[in-house]
Amino acid sequence: MKPSLARGTRDFSALEVSRRRYIINTLQKNFELFGFQPLETPSFENLSTLTGKYGEEGDRLIFKILNSGNYLDKVSAEELHVDNHQALTKKISEKALRYDLTVPFARYVSMNHGQLVFPFKRYQIQPVWRADRPAKGRFREFYQCDADVVGSESLLQEVDLVQLYLKSFSDLKIPVTIHMNNRKILSGLAEYAGITDKLIEFTVALDKLDKIGKEGVVKELLEREIAQESIDKLEFLFNQTDDALENLLQLKEKFADSEIGLKGVEELEFVLTQSLNLGVDMQNLVFNITLARGLDYYTGAIFEVKADEVAMGSIGGGGRYDNLTEVFGVKNIPGIGISFGLDRVYLVMEELQLFPEEATTNVEYLFANFGGEEIVEALKLIMKLREKGISAELYPENSKLNKQFTFAEKKGIKNLVFLGEEEIKNGTVTFKDLTAGEQKTVSVEEFLGL
């Protein structure tokens, strides 16, 4: 049997794991700096927990888990041939791999709201699964790194999350632009165009503008039975200026009769203005009126982060979801959260060569194996280095020195140490810096930094 990987999954080498850990550690440090606490949830949830939370397209991408045992015994022959796949799915699958971290978080809050102190801020760094078509930067198994706040309606949370995004990407040295919109603005646009009953269809199509262009969006709107007259009223969406506040001013005029639209403009204006007051460069913030993120649960702010110098989809996104816990029977718990796409962040950093040297975990010292008594002395010295937090190991076989040299170079080990009969007699250590090519002999005390 020829070994192979399932499509959309990957193995990670030591270097890749070290670099991913560097990104995770940077994000975790900032999450905790901003007052978020860690949380983990199971890799799979009840299917009913996940369905109906991600919109029509999202539901199709949920990885369902077949019930264990002879689940088909419960399904009649007639049911196996019906066209009602949803009904059949309920018979054979009751669980699914989590699609994101937000819905499981909402489920956790709903189950534990009596014990939580609000506002409750949590971060979560775990894998998620989507039955998507694999492509560059798109995988079926990937990590999300989320930060959410629940129990607060204050727009200062949005301002704080903008700061969290900018600081985190600044620490990773990735130049980014945060695209912003508000779900209430999208509702206002639907009211303005007379398509309130088609809000979801409208936002799902609009969210594809980057992928399929204006013509593609218009075509999809027509296919979703949105009248040409309504589409004509929305023509201005495709001709926005670079001035976010000017675009918001234009919307205020169009939303004269839309209370929800005006509310969205007011909220976004507050977030933009406060961010600018805190010294954020307007170049880093974009009011993207076509940004929809076709998820049913957003009710206010919508964020999407894009790397400035790499052609790739979003590397982060999120928004406000004030009604999400209601589906679990718990009302009046507003929430907002953002997510970092670890895998895409990695690809961006790799392409821009942004990983620092400390993002690798190469062994500092490899001790050459001379056999006999020297092994014991080498192991003693290795133990002392490890006690000081310095990585070291002994080459396992008493092989030719050339072979040990080659091993060290291929492994990217920084120093090769020689502790032979002469060094042991004199209380010295000889080591070669394999990067610089320099060799030194020093006392054991000096080598250990004593």
Return the closest-CA partner of residue 149 out of 139, 136, 162, 137: 162
Q: For residue 154, how many other CB atoms are within 10 A of its CB?
A: 12
Q: Which residue has the tokens 């961010």?
A: 275
**Cβ–Cβ under 8 Å, residues 129 and 18:** no
| 322 marked ligand binding residue | no
144 is in an annotated binding site: yes
Is 393 in a helix, a strand, or coil? strand
**Count of CB atoms within 10 A of residue 287's CB?**
25
DSSP 427: T
Q: Which of 341, 334, 338, 340 is nearest to 106 (CA)?
A: 334
Using DSSP bridges, classify how beta strands 176-182 and 438-443 pair: parallel, antiparallel or unpaired. unpaired
| Pair 294, 204: CB distance under 8 Å | yes
Cis amide linkage into residue 42, ω under 30° from 0: no
Contacts of 189 (CB under 8 A, 6+ apart): 202, 234, 237, 261, 289
Q: Is 298 annotated as a binding residue?
A: yes
Q: Would the annotation count 293 as a binding residue?
A: yes
Q: Is 148 annotated as a binding residue?
A: yes
What letter represents residue 79's amino acid? E
**196: three-class secondary structure by DSSP:** helix
Q: Show the DSSP H helices in 125-198 as ranges.
A: 156-171, 183-193
Residue 130 counted as an annotated binding residue:
yes
DSSP three-state, residue 38: strand
Residue 448 annotated as binding?
no
3-state class (DSSP) for residue 35: coil
- Can you tell me the distance from the alpha carbon of 141 to that of 8, in angstroms, rounded to the nearest whole number? 7
Q: Which residue has the tokens 């301002």?
A: 159
For the annotated binding site, the residues are 100-102, 130, 144, 148, 293, 297-298
Residues in binding site for L-histidine = 100-102, 130, 144, 148, 293, 297-298
